[in-house]
Amino acid sequence: MTRALLILLTALLISQGAALSAPPNVIFILTDDLGWGDLGCYGHPITRTPNIDALAARGTLFTNFYVNASVCSPSRCAFFTGQYPSRHRIHGHYATPEMNKNRGMSNWLEPQVPNTARLLKSAGYATAHIGKWHLGSNSGGPEPDKYGFDYVGSGETDGPNGPAADPYYRANSTRLFVDEAIQFIEKHKDTPFYTQIWTLVPHATLNPTPEQMKEYPRLRAGGPTFPHASAAQIFSSSVTDLDTQLGRLFKKLDDLKLADKTLIIFSSDNGPEDIHIQNAGHSGIGSAGPFRGRKRSLYEGGIRVPGIICWPGHVPAGRIDKQSIVSGVDLLPSLCSLAGVKIPEDHPLDGEDMSDTWTGETRLRKRPLMWEWRFRIAGEPFHHSPELAIRDGKWKLLMNPDKSRVELYDLNQDLTQLNNVAEHHPDIVERLGNQVTEWAKTLPEGPRDRGAGKMNYPMPGQPKGATKKMAE
């Protein structure tokens, strides 16, 4: 071999190694109130989601993907900081300052807290946030540009239901968000970028356009000529349009030859909304799959959500990981690991680097996951969970801080959480119960709803006022 050829081969190997080790572009798509079972690739029998299904086929689908709260603001905090949201006194959704105070909450996530965007920006990433924020700007807090984003696109406008002058703003919002994301990506296609697209759909109030509703004419209540849309038609039309718009984003990555350089994370902030909530009374039939619980509940349906990771050539294609337990708090440490970014030592993590499970390994977590919910839960009592929960391996324990309502489930055998085996495994109950109650003692003190952690129903013959007590 000549010296010139050796130099050429060496240079080629070095360049290939550099390419393999180059940090990926990142797109984090976070849907709003999308249930575990709302996608075709997760088994939905009606709703069509071909583009997201194709994303799952090009990457890995996790069946044990969890968020760290059962409503939006705390769940988003966990994704963004790698920490449990209670550390920041984010126990429920951010609302007015008065409502936040009454629930013992902060009014916003402090901008100086290390977060995914700012850490990746320090490593040379261009950063963008597009879509819903809900980390405090609605209650007087800073706008997203104060958290390390170079670009902030459109989001919620004039409140959660959109402007009165445009009843279809929410229905068309995903198209708008994808347009803005494409513009940002085209501008930064030659440098690493981190783009958050946090959608408004399928959060209520859903009002799909007539054109979107044409996707499901047979779902119309009473048949095609009936004057009212069904909840199924409204919900499925909204989710399918979400899928259509994301398909445009995926195609643009292919057109720009960026697909192989881009890590896409797709998930939801919590489980599906309950139809008993007023603004979802016409549409709240999202699917939690086989699981008990919906939004606000600590049963599986409230906190186990879709989780899809795609990065061609690095994340195995067509893989379904049924063993690894991955969570929202893992996002920050996992992305920082892949990007070679050091996390500040004074920022203790509740998540862990799970990037090896993204790229093909299957393993157990080093630490269990824990949750709390201090408030009432909407809907049928069947979904009303205790206030605390912990998952360690196959075991899921739920209980109240006073150690009432102790429930233990083997999730490998009992997905729907119907068979409470606590009395048969006192050692596991003691171990996990001690862990979660000790953890709860470290959380900021604050008020709790009188109905929190209770599963009551006003049975016939109960004293007058029983219904009111159940609702409190």
Catalytic residues: 72, 134
Q: Which helix (H) or strand (E) holds 326?
A: strand 326-327
| 3 state DSSP class of 74 | helix
C-alpha–C-alpha distance, residues 365 and 347, integer Å: 20
Residue with tokens 């799970």: 354
Q: How far apart are CA 87 and CA 168, in angstroms?
A: 37
Evaluate whether 302 touches 343 at the Cβ level (below 8 Å): no
CB atoms inside a 10 Å sphere around CB 236: 27
Question: Which one, of 246, 193, 182, lies nearest residue 29 by Cα?
Answer: 246
> What is the rounded distance in angstroms from the CA atom of residue 135 to the CA atom of residue 148?
14
Residue carrying structure tokens 């936040």: 100
CB 197 within 8 A of CB 182: no
Those residues whose C-beta lies under 8 Å from the C-beta of residue 450, and which sit 6 or more positions away, are: 469, 472
CB atoms within 10 A of CB 98: 9
Name the pairing type of β-strands 60-62 and 407-410: unpaired
CB 303 within 8 A of CB 325: no
The stretches of 198-282 forming alpha helices (DSSP H) are 210-213, 231-255
- Rounded Cα distance, 151 and 127, in Å: 7
Is residue 337 exposed (0-12), middle (13-18) or buried (19+ Cβ within 10 Å)? middle
Side-chain half-sphere of 110: how many Cα atoms within 13 Å?
A: 8
> What one-letter code names the amino acid at 53?
D
